[in-house]
Amino acid sequence: MQQRPNNYFDSKNRQRKSILLRFFPWALIFIALAFLAIFGIKTLRDNKVAAEIKPYEDIFAENIIVDGLNISRMTPQDAYQALYQLQENRINSWSLDISYKGHTYVTINYQTLGLSTNTDAISHTLKKAWDLTHQGSPYQKKEAMDVLKIKPFETSTVQKSEFNDQKLEQILISIADNINSLSQVRDAKLIQFSPDSVDPFIIQKEEIGYQLDIPQAKENILTFASNGTSGSYDLTPQQIMPTITEAMLRKNLVLRSIAQTEISTSSEPNRTENIRVSARKINGLVLKPGQEFSFNKVAQERTLENGYYPALEQVYGYLETGVGGGVCQTSSTIYQAALLSDLAIVRRLPHGEPVRYTDAGLDATVYLTRDRELDFKFKNSTNNNLYIAARVRSGSSSRHLITEIRIYGEPFEDGAQYRLKTIETEKIYPPAEPLYVNDSKGLYALYKDEEVQKSASKEGSVVETYLQKYIDGLLVEEKFVSKSKYPSRQEQVWRGIKNRPSF
Protein backbone atom coordinates (compact mmCIF):
# COMPACT_ATOMS: atom_id res chain seq x y z
CA MET A 1 0.00 0.00 0.00
CA GLN A 2 1.30 3.41 -1.00
CA GLN A 3 1.63 6.03 1.80
CA ARG A 4 0.42 9.61 1.31
CA PRO A 5 2.92 12.38 2.02
CA ASN A 6 2.48 14.51 5.19
CA ASN A 7 1.90 17.65 3.23
CA TYR A 8 -1.28 16.09 1.95
CA PHE A 9 -2.88 15.96 5.48
CA ASP A 10 -1.71 19.47 6.26
CA SER A 11 -3.52 20.71 3.21
CA LYS A 12 -6.80 19.11 4.31
CA ASN A 13 -6.64 20.60 7.82
CA ARG A 14 -6.05 24.05 6.41
CA GLN A 15 -9.19 23.66 4.26
CA ARG A 16 -11.35 22.72 7.31
CA LYS A 17 -10.14 25.68 9.35
CA SER A 18 -10.88 27.96 6.48
CA ILE A 19 -14.52 26.73 6.30
CA LEU A 20 -15.05 27.11 10.06
CA LEU A 21 -13.68 30.61 10.08
CA ARG A 22 -15.96 31.50 7.21
CA PHE A 23 -19.28 30.29 8.97
CA PHE A 24 -18.58 31.15 12.65
CA PRO A 25 -19.58 34.83 12.41
CA TRP A 26 -22.87 33.88 10.88
CA ALA A 27 -23.60 31.43 13.73
CA LEU A 28 -22.93 34.15 16.24
CA ILE A 29 -25.24 36.49 14.40
CA PHE A 30 -28.01 33.83 14.36
CA ILE A 31 -27.75 33.15 18.11
CA ALA A 32 -27.85 36.86 18.85
CA LEU A 33 -30.93 37.34 16.73
CA ALA A 34 -32.73 34.42 18.47
CA PHE A 35 -31.92 35.83 21.90
CA LEU A 36 -33.17 39.25 20.88
CA ALA A 37 -36.42 37.74 19.55
CA ILE A 38 -37.12 35.83 22.77
CA PHE A 39 -36.29 38.82 24.92
CA GLY A 40 -38.50 41.01 22.79
CA ILE A 41 -41.51 38.68 23.09
CA LYS A 42 -41.13 38.51 26.89
CA THR A 43 -40.85 42.28 27.03
CA LEU A 44 -43.96 42.63 24.96
CA ARG A 45 -45.80 40.19 27.20
CA ASP A 46 -44.62 41.90 30.38
CA ASN A 47 -45.67 45.25 28.99
CA LYS A 48 -49.10 43.88 28.08
CA VAL A 49 -49.69 42.38 31.56
CA ALA A 50 -48.47 45.56 33.21
CA ALA A 51 -50.83 47.58 31.03
CA GLU A 52 -53.79 45.38 32.00
CA ILE A 53 -53.23 45.61 35.75
CA LYS A 54 -52.10 49.24 35.80
CA PRO A 55 -55.68 50.70 35.89
CA TYR A 56 -56.31 48.77 39.12
CA GLU A 57 -53.16 49.80 40.98
CA ASP A 58 -55.06 52.22 43.22
CA ILE A 59 -58.56 50.73 43.05
CA PHE A 60 -60.27 47.40 43.68
CA ALA A 61 -60.48 44.88 40.86
CA GLU A 62 -63.67 43.81 39.14
CA ASN A 63 -66.28 41.52 40.73
CA ILE A 64 -65.50 42.16 44.38
CA ILE A 65 -68.63 42.32 46.51
CA VAL A 66 -68.73 43.06 50.24
CA ASP A 67 -71.96 43.04 52.24
CA GLY A 68 -73.82 42.84 48.94
CA LEU A 69 -72.11 46.06 47.71
CA ASN A 70 -70.01 45.91 44.54
CA ILE A 71 -66.82 47.85 45.42
CA SER A 72 -65.17 47.23 42.03
CA ARG A 73 -63.12 50.21 40.80
CA MET A 74 -63.45 51.96 44.17
CA THR A 75 -60.47 53.30 46.03
CA PRO A 76 -59.90 51.79 49.48
CA GLN A 77 -61.03 55.03 51.07
CA ASP A 78 -64.22 55.22 49.01
CA ALA A 79 -64.96 51.55 49.69
CA TYR A 80 -64.43 52.07 53.42
CA GLN A 81 -66.84 55.02 53.51
CA ALA A 82 -69.43 53.17 51.46
CA LEU A 83 -69.29 50.06 53.64
CA TYR A 84 -69.32 52.09 56.84
CA GLN A 85 -72.47 53.90 55.74
CA LEU A 86 -74.02 50.67 54.51
CA GLN A 87 -73.36 48.97 57.85
CA GLU A 88 -74.77 51.91 59.75
CA ASN A 89 -77.92 51.82 57.64
CA ARG A 90 -78.28 48.05 58.02
CA ILE A 91 -77.83 48.07 61.74
CA ASN A 92 -80.58 50.64 62.01
CA SER A 93 -82.88 49.02 59.48
CA TRP A 94 -82.37 45.24 59.75
CA SER A 95 -85.08 43.26 61.47
CA LEU A 96 -86.38 39.71 61.37
CA ASP A 97 -89.78 38.34 62.40
CA ILE A 98 -89.58 34.93 64.06
CA SER A 99 -92.85 33.15 63.24
CA TYR A 100 -94.58 29.79 63.50
CA LYS A 101 -97.78 28.80 61.67
CA GLY A 102 -98.58 32.41 60.78
CA HIS A 103 -98.02 33.73 64.30
CA THR A 104 -95.10 36.13 64.87
CA TYR A 105 -93.59 35.51 68.27
CA VAL A 106 -90.97 38.28 68.24
CA THR A 107 -89.15 40.72 65.96
CA ILE A 108 -85.39 40.94 66.48
CA ASN A 109 -82.79 43.42 65.21
CA TYR A 110 -79.04 43.86 65.43
CA GLN A 111 -79.42 45.53 68.81
CA THR A 112 -81.05 42.29 70.01
CA LEU A 113 -77.90 40.48 68.92
CA GLY A 114 -75.63 43.10 70.54
CA LEU A 115 -74.18 44.26 67.21
CA SER A 116 -72.89 47.77 66.37
CA THR A 117 -70.84 49.20 63.48
CA ASN A 118 -67.47 47.45 63.48
CA THR A 119 -64.75 49.56 61.82
CA ASP A 120 -62.10 46.92 62.44
CA ALA A 121 -64.18 44.35 60.59
CA ILE A 122 -64.59 46.75 57.65
CA SER A 123 -60.84 47.41 57.47
CA HIS A 124 -59.98 43.73 57.81
CA THR A 125 -62.44 42.71 55.11
CA LEU A 126 -61.24 45.40 52.69
CA LYS A 127 -57.60 44.40 53.20
CA LYS A 128 -58.49 40.81 52.41
CA ALA A 129 -60.27 41.91 49.23
CA TRP A 130 -57.41 44.27 48.30
CA ASP A 131 -54.70 41.63 48.72
CA LEU A 132 -56.47 39.39 46.22
CA THR A 133 -55.13 41.42 43.26
CA HIS A 134 -52.40 43.55 44.81
CA GLN A 135 -49.90 40.97 46.00
CA GLY A 136 -47.24 38.99 44.13
CA SER A 137 -45.88 39.43 40.63
CA PRO A 138 -47.81 41.18 37.84
CA TYR A 139 -48.61 37.76 36.42
CA GLN A 140 -50.04 36.62 39.79
CA LYS A 141 -52.13 39.78 39.97
CA LYS A 142 -53.34 39.24 36.40
CA GLU A 143 -54.21 35.59 37.17
CA ALA A 144 -56.19 36.69 40.25
CA MET A 145 -58.16 39.18 38.14
CA ASP A 146 -58.91 36.51 35.55
CA VAL A 147 -60.26 34.22 38.32
CA LEU A 148 -62.56 37.02 39.51
CA LYS A 149 -64.03 37.29 36.02
CA ILE A 150 -65.21 33.67 36.35
CA LYS A 151 -65.99 33.57 40.05
CA PRO A 152 -66.69 36.87 41.82
CA PHE A 153 -65.40 37.33 45.37
CA GLU A 154 -68.23 37.81 47.85
CA THR A 155 -67.79 38.32 51.57
CA SER A 156 -69.30 40.09 54.55
CA THR A 157 -68.00 42.40 57.23
CA VAL A 158 -70.48 40.91 59.68
CA GLN A 159 -69.53 37.45 60.97
CA LYS A 160 -71.73 35.14 63.06
CA SER A 161 -69.07 35.09 65.74
CA GLU A 162 -69.65 38.78 66.35
CA PHE A 163 -73.21 38.25 67.52
CA ASN A 164 -74.12 37.88 71.16
CA ASP A 165 -76.56 34.99 70.78
CA GLN A 166 -77.45 34.53 74.46
CA LYS A 167 -80.52 36.71 74.24
CA LEU A 168 -81.54 35.01 70.98
CA GLU A 169 -81.18 31.60 72.64
CA GLN A 170 -83.37 32.70 75.55
CA ILE A 171 -86.02 33.88 73.07
CA LEU A 172 -85.90 30.55 71.19
CA ILE A 173 -86.12 28.53 74.43
CA SER A 174 -89.26 30.44 75.38
CA ILE A 175 -90.80 29.87 71.93
CA ALA A 176 -89.81 26.18 72.01
CA ASP A 177 -91.54 25.72 75.37
CA ASN A 178 -94.71 27.17 73.88
CA ILE A 179 -94.56 25.08 70.69
CA ASN A 180 -93.76 21.87 72.57
CA SER A 181 -96.62 22.40 75.03
CA LEU A 182 -99.12 23.14 72.25
CA SER A 183 -98.21 20.10 70.19
CA GLN A 184 -97.20 17.24 72.45
CA VAL A 185 -96.90 13.81 70.90
CA ARG A 186 -99.69 11.48 71.96
CA ASP A 187 -100.23 7.80 71.20
CA ALA A 188 -103.60 6.57 70.03
CA LYS A 189 -105.56 4.94 72.83
CA LEU A 190 -108.63 2.72 73.06
CA ILE A 191 -110.94 4.74 75.29
CA GLN A 192 -113.97 2.48 75.40
CA PHE A 193 -115.41 -0.72 74.00
CA SER A 194 -118.99 0.19 73.17
CA PRO A 195 -120.43 -3.11 71.86
CA ASP A 196 -123.84 -1.75 70.89
CA SER A 197 -122.48 1.03 68.64
CA VAL A 198 -122.00 0.75 64.89
CA ASP A 199 -118.30 1.27 65.52
CA PRO A 200 -117.84 -0.48 68.86
CA PHE A 201 -114.41 1.00 69.52
CA ILE A 202 -114.01 4.59 70.70
CA ILE A 203 -110.40 5.50 70.02
CA GLN A 204 -108.53 8.64 70.99
CA LYS A 205 -106.56 9.48 67.86
CA GLU A 206 -102.82 9.87 67.92
CA GLU A 207 -101.27 13.32 67.71
CA ILE A 208 -97.97 14.27 66.11
CA GLY A 209 -95.71 16.25 68.40
CA TYR A 210 -93.30 19.00 67.42
CA GLN A 211 -89.97 19.87 68.97
CA LEU A 212 -87.93 22.92 68.04
CA ASP A 213 -84.28 22.32 67.27
CA ILE A 214 -82.93 25.41 69.04
CA PRO A 215 -79.27 25.17 67.84
CA GLN A 216 -80.37 24.79 64.20
CA ALA A 217 -82.90 27.64 64.45
CA LYS A 218 -80.26 29.87 66.00
CA GLU A 219 -77.79 29.00 63.23
CA ASN A 220 -80.35 29.85 60.55
CA ILE A 221 -81.30 33.18 62.16
CA LEU A 222 -77.64 34.20 62.54
CA THR A 223 -77.16 33.43 58.84
CA PHE A 224 -79.99 35.86 58.04
CA ALA A 225 -78.35 38.42 60.32
CA SER A 226 -74.84 38.04 58.87
CA ASN A 227 -76.23 38.38 55.33
CA GLY A 228 -78.30 41.38 56.37
CA THR A 229 -81.46 39.73 55.06
CA SER A 230 -84.59 41.19 56.62
CA GLY A 231 -88.05 39.69 56.51
CA SER A 232 -89.55 36.70 58.29
CA TYR A 233 -88.08 33.45 59.49
CA ASP A 234 -90.60 30.63 59.84
CA LEU A 235 -89.66 28.11 62.50
CA THR A 236 -89.83 24.49 61.34
CA PRO A 237 -89.91 22.21 64.40
CA GLN A 238 -89.05 18.57 63.99
CA GLN A 239 -91.97 16.15 63.92
CA ILE A 240 -92.14 13.66 66.80
CA MET A 241 -94.17 10.70 65.60
CA PRO A 242 -96.34 8.69 68.02
CA THR A 243 -95.42 5.07 68.60
CA ILE A 244 -99.03 3.86 68.47
CA THR A 245 -101.50 5.02 65.82
CA GLU A 246 -105.22 4.42 65.43
CA ALA A 247 -104.50 2.26 62.39
CA MET A 248 -102.18 0.10 64.49
CA LEU A 249 -104.86 -0.37 67.15
CA ARG A 250 -107.57 -1.19 64.62
CA LYS A 251 -105.43 -3.95 63.13
CA ASN A 252 -106.23 -5.99 66.24
CA LEU A 253 -109.86 -4.91 66.55
CA VAL A 254 -111.35 -6.80 63.61
CA LEU A 255 -114.51 -8.91 63.73
CA ARG A 256 -113.18 -12.45 64.15
CA SER A 257 -116.55 -14.18 64.29
CA ILE A 258 -120.28 -13.71 64.55
CA ALA A 259 -122.74 -16.42 65.65
CA GLN A 260 -126.52 -16.21 65.58
CA THR A 261 -129.33 -18.47 66.75
CA GLU A 262 -133.01 -17.79 66.21
CA ILE A 263 -135.36 -17.51 69.17
CA SER A 264 -138.55 -19.40 68.44
CA THR A 265 -141.68 -17.31 68.12
CA SER A 266 -143.26 -19.77 70.56
CA SER A 267 -140.60 -19.01 73.18
CA GLU A 268 -142.36 -17.81 76.31
CA PRO A 269 -141.58 -14.17 77.34
CA ASN A 270 -139.73 -15.24 80.49
CA ARG A 271 -137.44 -17.53 78.51
CA THR A 272 -136.67 -14.78 76.00
CA GLU A 273 -136.00 -12.34 78.84
CA ASN A 274 -133.58 -14.80 80.43
CA ILE A 275 -131.62 -14.88 77.16
CA ARG A 276 -131.50 -11.07 77.22
CA VAL A 277 -130.35 -11.00 80.85
CA SER A 278 -127.50 -13.46 80.25
CA ALA A 279 -126.48 -11.65 77.03
CA ARG A 280 -126.34 -8.30 78.85
CA LYS A 281 -124.02 -9.81 81.47
CA ILE A 282 -121.65 -10.96 78.71
CA ASN A 283 -121.95 -7.85 76.54
CA GLY A 284 -118.82 -5.67 76.64
CA LEU A 285 -116.60 -8.33 78.17
CA VAL A 286 -112.85 -8.02 77.45
CA LEU A 287 -110.65 -11.10 77.68
CA LYS A 288 -106.91 -10.65 77.98
CA PRO A 289 -104.53 -13.08 76.27
CA GLY A 290 -104.59 -16.40 78.14
CA GLN A 291 -107.64 -15.40 80.19
CA GLU A 292 -110.44 -17.96 80.56
CA PHE A 293 -114.11 -17.29 79.98
CA SER A 294 -116.56 -19.10 82.28
CA PHE A 295 -120.21 -18.77 81.35
CA ASN A 296 -121.42 -19.50 84.89
CA LYS A 297 -119.00 -16.96 86.36
CA VAL A 298 -120.03 -14.20 83.94
CA ALA A 299 -123.75 -14.96 83.71
CA GLN A 300 -123.92 -15.64 87.46
CA GLU A 301 -126.18 -18.06 89.26
CA ARG A 302 -129.66 -18.13 87.76
CA THR A 303 -131.69 -16.66 90.60
CA LEU A 304 -134.43 -14.08 90.92
CA GLU A 305 -131.96 -11.83 92.75
CA ASN A 306 -129.65 -11.89 89.71
CA GLY A 307 -132.47 -10.82 87.40
CA TYR A 308 -133.60 -14.16 85.99
CA TYR A 309 -137.19 -15.46 85.60
CA PRO A 310 -138.85 -18.87 85.86
CA ALA A 311 -139.13 -20.56 82.47
CA LEU A 312 -139.01 -23.98 80.83
CA GLU A 313 -135.57 -25.55 80.63
CA GLN A 314 -134.24 -28.94 79.56
CA VAL A 315 -133.30 -31.22 82.42
CA TYR A 316 -132.06 -34.71 81.54
CA GLY A 317 -133.84 -34.48 78.22
CA TYR A 318 -137.15 -33.30 79.69
CA LEU A 319 -138.60 -29.80 79.86
CA GLU A 320 -139.12 -28.53 83.36
CA THR A 321 -139.74 -25.09 84.83
CA GLY A 322 -136.73 -23.53 86.50
CA VAL A 323 -135.32 -20.06 87.15
CA GLY A 324 -133.14 -19.06 84.21
CA GLY A 325 -134.66 -21.35 81.61
CA GLY A 326 -133.40 -20.36 78.15
CA VAL A 327 -129.84 -19.27 79.02
CA CYS A 328 -128.51 -22.36 77.26
CA GLN A 329 -129.35 -20.63 74.00
CA THR A 330 -126.89 -17.88 74.98
CA SER A 331 -124.20 -20.40 76.00
CA SER A 332 -124.71 -22.35 72.76
CA THR A 333 -124.42 -19.19 70.66
CA ILE A 334 -121.18 -18.07 72.34
CA TYR A 335 -119.85 -21.62 71.96
CA GLN A 336 -120.31 -21.32 68.21
CA ALA A 337 -118.71 -17.84 68.19
CA ALA A 338 -115.70 -19.18 70.11
CA LEU A 339 -115.32 -22.04 67.63
CA LEU A 340 -115.55 -19.68 64.65
CA SER A 341 -112.86 -17.52 66.31
CA ASP A 342 -110.64 -20.62 66.50
CA LEU A 343 -110.29 -20.32 70.27
CA ALA A 344 -109.32 -23.04 72.71
CA ILE A 345 -112.44 -24.70 74.15
CA VAL A 346 -111.79 -25.68 77.78
CA ARG A 347 -115.14 -27.28 78.76
CA ARG A 348 -118.35 -27.96 76.84
CA LEU A 349 -121.16 -30.48 77.33
CA PRO A 350 -124.04 -31.21 74.95
CA HIS A 351 -127.67 -31.30 76.08
CA GLY A 352 -129.49 -34.53 76.85
CA GLU A 353 -131.08 -34.26 73.42
CA PRO A 354 -130.76 -31.88 70.46
CA VAL A 355 -132.25 -28.43 70.93
CA ARG A 356 -134.50 -26.61 68.50
CA TYR A 357 -132.50 -23.41 68.05
CA THR A 358 -129.30 -24.93 66.60
CA ASP A 359 -127.95 -28.04 64.91
CA ALA A 360 -126.96 -31.05 66.95
CA GLY A 361 -123.27 -30.82 67.92
CA LEU A 362 -123.35 -27.02 68.17
CA ASP A 363 -125.04 -26.65 71.54
CA ALA A 364 -123.51 -26.13 74.98
CA THR A 365 -125.55 -26.85 78.08
CA VAL A 366 -124.99 -24.92 81.31
CA TYR A 367 -126.43 -25.31 84.79
CA LEU A 368 -125.59 -23.83 88.15
CA THR A 369 -127.01 -24.60 91.57
CA ARG A 370 -125.42 -25.19 94.94
CA ASP A 371 -125.23 -28.93 94.35
CA ARG A 372 -124.66 -29.17 90.59
CA GLU A 373 -122.73 -27.24 87.96
CA LEU A 374 -122.37 -27.63 84.22
CA ASP A 375 -120.23 -24.88 82.73
CA PHE A 376 -119.04 -23.76 79.32
CA LYS A 377 -115.48 -22.41 79.20
CA PHE A 378 -113.04 -21.24 76.57
CA LYS A 379 -109.70 -19.44 76.66
CA ASN A 380 -108.34 -16.45 74.80
CA SER A 381 -105.64 -18.31 72.91
CA THR A 382 -104.64 -15.25 70.81
CA ASN A 383 -101.89 -12.73 71.43
CA ASN A 384 -104.23 -9.77 71.95
CA ASN A 385 -107.38 -8.82 73.83
CA LEU A 386 -110.72 -10.25 72.76
CA TYR A 387 -113.85 -8.10 72.86
CA ILE A 388 -117.24 -9.78 73.14
CA ALA A 389 -120.57 -8.26 72.15
CA ALA A 390 -123.79 -10.12 73.03
CA ARG A 391 -127.39 -9.13 72.44
CA VAL A 392 -130.88 -10.17 71.46
CA ARG A 393 -131.82 -8.25 68.32
CA SER A 394 -134.81 -8.04 66.03
CA GLY A 395 -134.80 -10.10 62.89
CA SER A 396 -137.04 -9.76 59.87
CA SER A 397 -139.95 -8.69 62.11
CA SER A 398 -140.59 -7.55 65.65
CA ARG A 399 -141.58 -11.12 66.59
CA HIS A 400 -138.53 -12.60 64.94
CA LEU A 401 -135.69 -12.38 67.48
CA ILE A 402 -132.09 -13.48 67.19
CA THR A 403 -129.43 -14.19 69.78
CA GLU A 404 -126.18 -12.74 68.45
CA ILE A 405 -122.59 -13.00 69.70
CA ARG A 406 -119.71 -11.09 68.08
CA ILE A 407 -116.04 -11.55 68.98
CA TYR A 408 -113.46 -8.93 68.00
CA GLY A 409 -109.69 -9.25 68.16
CA GLU A 410 -106.59 -9.81 66.06
CA PRO A 411 -107.14 -10.90 62.45
CA PHE A 412 -106.61 -14.44 61.23
CA GLU A 413 -103.45 -15.18 59.32
CA ASP A 414 -103.74 -15.25 55.54
CA GLY A 415 -107.24 -13.73 55.73
CA ALA A 416 -108.71 -17.10 56.74
CA GLN A 417 -112.42 -17.63 57.39
CA TYR A 418 -113.98 -20.43 59.45
CA ARG A 419 -117.16 -22.48 59.12
CA LEU A 420 -118.71 -25.21 61.21
CA LYS A 421 -119.66 -28.64 59.92
CA THR A 422 -121.59 -31.39 61.74
CA ILE A 423 -121.97 -35.02 60.73
CA GLU A 424 -124.24 -37.61 62.30
CA THR A 425 -122.01 -40.67 62.58
CA GLU A 426 -124.34 -43.00 64.48
CA LYS A 427 -128.00 -43.52 65.32
CA ILE A 428 -128.98 -44.76 68.74
CA TYR A 429 -132.27 -46.64 68.77
CA PRO A 430 -134.45 -46.84 71.88
CA PRO A 431 -135.64 -50.18 73.35
CA ALA A 432 -138.70 -51.60 71.63
CA GLU A 433 -140.55 -52.08 74.91
CA PRO A 434 -141.78 -49.07 76.86
CA LEU A 435 -140.69 -48.27 80.37
CA TYR A 436 -143.59 -48.63 82.79
CA VAL A 437 -143.66 -46.31 85.77
CA ASN A 438 -146.07 -46.62 88.68
CA ASP A 439 -147.77 -43.29 89.16
CA SER A 440 -147.69 -43.30 92.95
CA LYS A 441 -149.08 -39.79 93.14
CA GLY A 442 -151.76 -40.32 90.58
CA LEU A 443 -150.53 -37.47 88.44
CA TYR A 444 -151.37 -39.16 85.16
CA ALA A 445 -153.03 -42.50 85.98
CA LEU A 446 -154.99 -43.43 89.07
CA TYR A 447 -155.99 -47.07 88.59
CA LYS A 448 -154.00 -50.15 87.71
CA ASP A 449 -155.89 -50.65 84.49
CA GLU A 450 -155.03 -47.10 83.37
CA GLU A 451 -151.92 -46.52 81.26
CA VAL A 452 -150.89 -43.10 80.05
CA GLN A 453 -147.95 -42.42 77.70
CA LYS A 454 -145.98 -39.72 79.37
CA SER A 455 -143.31 -39.50 76.64
CA ALA A 456 -142.81 -41.19 73.33
CA SER A 457 -139.68 -43.04 72.35
CA LYS A 458 -137.04 -41.04 70.54
CA GLU A 459 -133.93 -41.96 68.59
CA GLY A 460 -130.56 -40.74 69.84
CA SER A 461 -127.47 -39.98 67.81
CA VAL A 462 -123.73 -39.36 67.83
CA VAL A 463 -122.67 -36.19 66.06
CA GLU A 464 -119.15 -35.08 65.18
CA THR A 465 -118.34 -31.40 64.82
CA TYR A 466 -115.54 -30.02 62.61
CA LEU A 467 -114.04 -26.57 62.14
CA GLN A 468 -113.31 -25.81 58.50
CA LYS A 469 -110.69 -23.26 57.46
CA TYR A 470 -111.07 -21.43 54.15
CA ILE A 471 -108.58 -19.16 52.40
CA ASP A 472 -109.71 -17.27 49.31
CA GLY A 473 -112.83 -19.40 49.25
CA LEU A 474 -110.91 -22.71 49.21
CA LEU A 475 -111.08 -25.28 52.00
CA VAL A 476 -107.51 -25.73 53.28
CA GLU A 477 -108.05 -27.48 56.61
CA GLU A 478 -110.72 -29.40 58.50
CA LYS A 479 -110.16 -29.85 62.22
CA PHE A 480 -112.08 -32.21 64.52
CA VAL A 481 -113.75 -30.34 67.39
CA SER A 482 -115.95 -32.68 69.38
CA LYS A 483 -118.16 -35.76 69.47
CA SER A 484 -121.62 -35.17 70.95
CA LYS A 485 -123.73 -38.07 72.13
CA TYR A 486 -127.49 -37.61 72.44
CA PRO A 487 -128.95 -40.73 74.12
CA SER A 488 -132.12 -42.33 72.82
CA ARG A 489 -135.24 -42.03 74.94
CA GLN A 490 -137.34 -45.01 75.84
CA GLU A 491 -141.09 -44.70 75.62
CA GLN A 492 -142.42 -44.04 79.11
CA VAL A 493 -145.85 -45.24 80.19
CA TRP A 494 -147.30 -44.43 83.59
CA ARG A 495 -149.80 -46.74 85.31
CA GLY A 496 -152.03 -46.22 88.29
CA ILE A 497 -151.48 -48.19 91.46
CA LYS A 498 -155.02 -48.37 92.84
CA ASN A 499 -157.65 -50.96 92.22
CA ARG A 500 -160.68 -49.64 90.47
CA PRO A 501 -163.64 -49.77 92.87
CA SER A 502 -166.49 -52.15 92.08
CA PHE A 503 -170.08 -51.01 92.34
The yes-or-no verdict on residue 6 having pLDDT over 60 is: no
Backbone region of residue 351 per phi and psi (left: phi > 0; alpha: psi in -120 to 50; beta: other values): beta
Of the pLDDT bands very low, low, confident and very high (cuts 50, 70, 90), residue 218 is: very high
pLDDT at 182: 75
Q: Which amino acid makes up residue 93?
A: S
Alpha helices in 321-449, H assignment, sequence order: 327-340
Of the pLDDT bands very low, low, confident and very high (cuts 50, 70, 90), residue 369 is: confident
Distances (CA, A) of 391 to 13, 137, 263, 453: 140, 100, 12, 39
Q: Which amino acid makes up residue 343?
A: L
pLDDT digits (tens, 9 = 90+) for 237-293: 999 999 999 999 999 999 999 999 999 999 999 999 999 999 999 999 999 999 999
CA 237, 241, 242, 247 torsion: positive or negative? Answer: positive
Of the pLDDT bands very low, low, confident and very high (cuts 50, 70, 90), residue 34 is: low
Q: Which amino acid makes up residue 236?
A: T
pLDDT digits (tens, 9 = 90+) for 417-450: 999 999 999 999 999 999 999 999 888 899 988 9
pLDDT at 227: 82
Q: Please report the beta strands in 82-171, taking only residues with DSSP state E, as ranges in sequence order.
A: 95-100, 103-109, 153-155
pTM score of the predicted model: 0.69
Q: How far apart are CA 65 and CA 77, in angstroms?
A: 15
Average pLDDT, the chain: 89
Q: Tell me the domain boundaries of the chain.
A: 6-50, 64-234, 251-411, 417-503
| Residue 338 CB-density burial (10 A; 0-12 exposed, 13-18 middle, 19+ buried) | buried
pLDDT at 14: 65
pLDDT at 202: 97
As a whole number of Å, the CA-based R_g of the chain is: 53
What are the φ/ψ torsions at residue 231 (nearest 5 degrees)? 135, -130
- Within 8 A by CB and 6+ apart from 497, the residues are 438, 439, 440, 442, 448
pLDDT at 91: 78
What are the φ/ψ torsions at residue 33 (nearest 5 degrees)? -65, -40
Which carries the bigger pLDDT value, residue 30 or residue 195?
195
Least confident of 18-32, 140-154, 231-245, 411-425: 18-32
457, 489 contact by CB (below 8 A): yes
CATH of domain 417-503: 2.20.230
pLDDT digits (tens, 9 = 90+) for 98-134: 999 899 999 998 888 887 778 888 999 999 999 999 9
pLDDT at 87: 78
Neighbours of 22 (CB within 10 A): 9
The yes-or-no verdict on residue 179 having pLDDT over 80 is: yes
386, 293 contact by CB (below 8 A): no
Strands 64-66 and 435-438: unpaired
- Within 8 A by CB and 6+ apart from 17, the residues are none
Mean pLDDT of 297-301: 96
The yes-or-no verdict on residue 8 having pLDDT over 80 is: no
Q: Name the residue among 284, 286, 281, 283 with its Cα closest to residue 303.
A: 281
pLDDT digits (tens, 9 = 90+) for 52-108: 899 999 999 999 999 889 999 999 999 999 999 887 887 788 899 999 989 999 999
pLDDT digits (tens, 9 = 90+) for 315-342: 665 677 889 999 999 999 999 999 999 9
Which carries the bigger pLDDT value, residue 210 or residue 357?
357
Least confident of 25-29, 42-46, 85-89, 313-317: 25-29
b/e sequence 56-67, b meaning 16+ C-beta within 10 Å = beebbbebbebb
